[in-house]
Structure 1
Amino acid sequence: MQPPINKLLIDLQEQLNFINIEIDDPIVACEQAIEITLKSLEQLKKFVLKRKFKSTNEEINFFKEIKPQFSSKFIYYNKIYKMETKRPYGGQRVVKKFYRNELRKLKLFFDSELEFYRYFRTGSNYLDHKYFVRGKLDVKLSLNSFYFESDKNFATTHSYKVAKIIAHDLLQVYLEDKLLLLENKQPNQKSQVNPKIKQNWTGSKVALIELLYALHSEGVFNNGASDLKDIAAYFEDTFNINLGQYHRAFLEIRMRKGDRTKFMTSLKESLKKRMDNSDE
């Protein structure tokens, strides 16, 4: 990946991480995420159109691996925005039915694109020269109508399908998390934790989520028998914070292109510095 493109993607991901963690209202978060993602796509388009690909392989790599990382985010947040703006008001039963129906729609998409889904998931490349090279139009390849409405200088017949697959994977996580929260929601239940001095978490949510997963992975609670959701609930009560969709946040952490354990690295450096200062 070209350095300017890599930086553009890292910057986009960091901005989206901030929005996902710090803004609790999904509609407001999606509005901001869509705006930011569209700007990044426009910058990406300008960069690509100003230069020529050095080889067919470079062009294939861009439309198969790079551009979908940007466009999938637009598809993802646009879909959530549409879902949340039409989500019905009512009790848990009504809302759960709504989210389950959205999950069924995802399955229908994967079923309808099963042949290409298998091709992409298995890492196949024997049709890449048709799928991911501009101008290679073949009506026998099950084209999406979006291709005919797009700029042919910045699209191939199947780059949009790759983006949809990535976006729908994220949507599945989002919907499953929503259903999990509804299943475990007990509004009248009070925590037994009652420390004398309440400690409020004043760092970022994404940092606490990184810590949450690190401690759970290490198995430091109840000899590793504690469930992640129980630890998350304990953290929320102890530190007076709502972690929100922490499963989705962890997925975003995993997708970081730079230091994936940014908070862990910062903790390590801070502790070493404190030890060094104490030694002096």
Structure 2
Amino acid sequence: MNRQVFRKRIDQLWKNLTMSIDQINRSDLDIISRVEKILMETDEAITSLKALLRQYKFQDWSDEIQFFKITKPQFVALYIYYSKVLSIEASKPYANEATLKSYFENERSGLLYFYNEQREFISYYRRKATFLDKKYFVRFKFDFKLKLSPELYSYDQEFCTSHDHLVAQIIANDLLDEYLVHRIDLKDSIEKPISAVGKLEWTAPKVALIELLFALHQTKCFDGGQADLAEVFRWAENSMNINLGNYHKTLSEIRLRKSDQTKFLSLLQKNLSQFLDDLDI
């Protein structure tokens, strides 16, 4: 299997998983039942990811690093996140509002232990540093002078590096922190089916949306930069029930602007800056 086929199959696996999760969250099942189904789907996806890796030989270090630093942690993070949500919701007391808030606040405080314990690596990861990537994200390169997970001895060395699981934990805990903030405010968060949220209508000019989508795609904002341009535009059209027509032609028209080619992006920056300045008044 070559690199292109390998990545294409992973992209499809990720797309199928996220679609399944979305469908489950749209269902009328209670939170615990939904999360249990999501965990089964995610476990199957990770098993499939592992099977794909057995059929592929990394072409170089950068190829392997990308898989263990970016690709695999996305899948594992979902499993960790939903496992924690299940534990929190299944153990939630039947109590008044004040007690529930205290319960969720205590759960959120528990995240601080992980952030403090792993602050050195978290700083490395969040700064997008790369100088230790060959030690962190290449298999069979464990440096025992580095701080390693105590469970490392039981890892599948064909499918794990010394730190890819920590990346997954960082992603999962960031998701969990956001979830707990909503629960502390006693908002439904994950408990609210996506289908209950009405679709938004894009009312600005279509050319503005096209300009925005091109900018987001060039900044690699979707699927870790793996989503192709057509996929991004199909997603936008389906999400907002809008037909963007020949967006390549529209891009050519944007290029021909005599002044301020990206005027919509400039307007966004201006309005946000004004909003932030107004907050200080």
Q: How high is the TM-score relative to the length of structure 1?
A: 0.69
Distance 1:113 1:31, change over 3 A: same
Query: What code does the residue aligned with 2:236 have?
Result: T
Task: Quote how far apart the aligned CAs of 1:142 are.
Answer: 1.3
CA deviations on 1:85-105 (whole Å, 9 max, x unpaired) are 111111111111110001101
Rounded to whole Å, the distance in 2 between the matches of 1:30 and 1:264 is: 24
For 2:184 and 2:237, the matched residues in 1 are separated by 29
The amino acid that maps onto 1:211 is K
Query: Is structure 2 residue 236 aligned with structure 1 residue 261?
Result: yes
Q: CA deviation at 1:42?
A: 0.4
Contact 1:19 1:33 in 2 (8 A): yes
Q: Tell me which amino acid in the other structure corresponds to 1:142.
A: K
After superposition, what is the alpha-carbon deviation per residue over 1:183-210, rounded to whole angstroms, capped at 9, x for unaligned? 9xxxxxxxxxxxxxxxxxxxx9546647
Q: Which of 89, 92, 103 matches 1:98?
A: 103
Structure 1 pair 142–123 and aligned structure 2 pair: CA distance change class (3 A): same
Pairing 1:211–2:185 present = no
Which of 148, 155, 160 is matched with 1:155 structurally?
160
The answer to whether the 8 Å contact 1:134/1:157 transfers is yes
CA contact (8 A) 1:211 1:263 kept: no
What secondary structure does 1:82 align onto? helix
Normalised TM-score (structure 2): 0.69
In the alignment, residue 13 of structure 1 is paired with which amino acid?
T
Contact 2:140 2:161 in 1 (8 A): yes
CA-atom RMSD, angstroms? 2.6
CA distance in 2, matches of 1:112, 1:27: 30
Partner Cα distance (1:55, 1:156) in 2: 15
Q: Is 2:139 the partner of 1:134? A: yes
Q: Aligned residues, how many?
A: 212
Separation of aligned partners in 1, 2:196 and 2:87: 29
Contact 2:28 2:193 in 1 (8 A): no
- Between the aligned partners of 2:223 and 2:198, the Cα distance in structure 1 is 13
Whether 1:82 and 2:91 are equivalent positions in the alignment is: no
**Which residues of structure 2 form unaligned runs of 5+?**
1-5, 205-221, 245-281
Which amino acid letter does the alignment assign opposite residue 157 of structure 2? K
Higher mean displacement: 18-27 or 73-82: 18-27
SS at match of 2:242: helix
Matched residues in 2 for 1:262 and 1:36: separation?
Answer: 27
Q: In 2, are the aligned partners of 1:207 and 1:263 still within 8 Å (CA)?
A: no
**How do residues 1-280 of structure 1 correspond to structure 2 at under 5 angstroms?**
2-23=7-28, 25-181=30-186, 206=194, 209=197, 211-212=199-200, 258-259=231-232, 260-261=235-236, 263-265=238-240, 267-269=241-243
Distance 1:255 1:99, change over 3 A: farther
Q: What SS does the corresponding residue of 1:261 show, helix, strand or coil?
A: helix
Query: CA shift at 1:115, angstroms?
Result: 0.6
Partner of 1:227: none
Question: Is the CA contact 1:147–1:157 (under 8 Å) kept in the aligned structure 2?
Answer: yes
Task: Supply the AA of the counterpart residue of 1:58.
Answer: D
> What is the alpha-carbon distance in structure 2 between the residues aligned to residue 11 and residue 42 of structure 1?
14
